[in-house]
Structure 1
């Protein structure tokens, strides 16, 4: 049977601090969840490959049974990620974590943890309205922009933090500290010093670039092509630098 391409995802994945991802299970469809995770790992292996994942069942009406939860954990491992814990929940959730041999971590804080309004009650049925005169056809909606607006980070990205801009550029108005990681599907702009790792074009966008005002990066990458600090010419260290991909080679040059 053909599967529609516009289905709602069964799991909503968000990236938080210290390189841990949170998989919030919205529909307990193990096969679909595993397939989605496999696709994420294939699209951005440097971001999701062997990533530590917390599995969060709090969006479900009831805690899954042990067999279903174990099948999901095993499937996620085969998909290329490493489930490391369950998110904190009910006493049933704690018992499930024990049975699975996983710890329970406190409520994960990610972007989607903004308060979500409860779904509105369905309005009462209304009498059918009388037929109206035909109206002019509405103008077709304008095509949506190909890319989402860029993500802007005002505060410094500190050691151990990971920041990911999905389907857009990332602009950091401050510094990226040593041991921090900034990742974007588009380009990365750092208006302070770049001392951590910067990975642009995470889904293979070879047009992505990296810009920074003070270059001390431990590692830079565009669409999977990497250079580490030891590969960077000494004359570029501490300078304003741009990084781009040309003929499958990573290029670096000082900004004028």
Structure 2
């Protein structure tokens, strides 16, 4: 008598790109790290509240002991984010991950530019796709440019018509225009991030990330002269490079929100 065998899996496992943030520890000061994260969550709860975070100790000269690392994890959870893994590093990192009961994510680390100041960097190592963007990313971290985690480039004094950034925004830097538009006169490099509560105007190549309407302004827009963006977002709705038509790359474009969908079109 033959027996029917069901070969169809109950769950299909795929390894792919997910939306997650990387917290690269640069100074092991647990209270300060926790306070920085609490500030991020308070200022942009829709982006950082309950966000999955990978902890990267690769920027330290020594791997912390399990008790210190556990205190950091507990503090970050209390601040409103969810540490889910450690970034792959040394054999000591592997042992620490086992002690903490966390997985390691290999080859996870985003591109960094080492700089002065700041305790930690939070970077989009694998940008959120549309399916998860509404849940975790309607706003971006409104850290002042002068308090950028990795040392923001100099910006011009505030004016009623918006903020003007006259020097290139380099990898790891973040510029934030609070309650106004942001105009970048040069380049936004790969790994850099420009954020505005209003619209973003870029008069050079956009190779990093641009986020407009960071506090929920759905009428904000993004304009740039050469479009190679890693990610664009308006009022929490994201598109990443893989989702952008190739015929728009390198072209002057505008980005706007229509019916809760990101629209991108070439400028005439």
2:146 alignment partner, one of 79, 93, 111:
111
Q: Report the TM-score when normalising by structure 1.
A: 0.50
Separation in structure 1 between the aligned mates of residue 253 and residue 118 of structure 2, nearest angstrom: 36
> Is the alpha carbon distance of 1:19 and 1:240 closer, same or farther for their aligned partners in structure 2, counting shifts above 3 Å?
farther
- Specify the SS of the correspondent of 2:198: coil
* Number of matched pairs: 166
Structure 1: which 5+ runs fail to align?
Answer: 1-17, 22-29, 53-70, 83-104, 114-146
Separation in structure 2 between the aligned mates of residue 167 and residue 42 of structure 1, nearest angstrom: 17
Equivalent in the alignment of 2:193: 181
How large is the Cα RMSD of the aligned pairs?
4.4
> Is the alpha carbon distance of 1:108 and 1:75 closer, same or farther for their aligned partners in structure 2, counting shifts above 3 Å?
closer
Equivalent in the alignment of 1:95: none
Equivalent in the alignment of 1:56: none
Separation in structure 1 between the aligned mates of residue 242 and residue 36 of structure 2, nearest angstrom: 40
2:200 corresponds to 1:165: no
Equivalent in the alignment of 2:212: 200
Separation in structure 2 between the aligned mates of residue 165 and residue 49 of structure 1, nearest angstrom: 26
Bigger relative contact order (CA 8 A; separation at least 6): 2
2:212 corresponds to 1:226: no
- Specify the SS of the correspondent of 2:265: strand
Point out 4+ residue stretches in structure 1 off by more than 4 angstroms: 18-21, 32-38, 48-52, 71-76, 105-110
Structure 2: which 5+ runs fail to align?
Answer: 1-21, 26-33, 56-70, 84-114, 120-144, 149-158
| Preserved CA contact (<8 Å) 1:154 1:173 | yes
Separation in structure 1 between the aligned mates of residue 263 and residue 217 of structure 2, nearest angstrom: 15
| Preserved CA contact (<8 Å) 1:41 1:80 | no
State the structure with more CA Rg: 1
| Preserved CA contact (<8 Å) 2:40 2:48 | no
The superposition leaves residues 218-246 of structure 1 with CA deviations (integer Å, 9 ceiling, x where unpaired) of 11111111111121112211111000000
Q: Report the TM-score when normalising by structure 2.
A: 0.48
| Preserved CA contact (<8 Å) 1:44 1:203 | no
> Is the alpha carbon distance of 1:195 and 1:245 closer, same or farther for their aligned partners in structure 2, counting shifts above 3 Å?
same
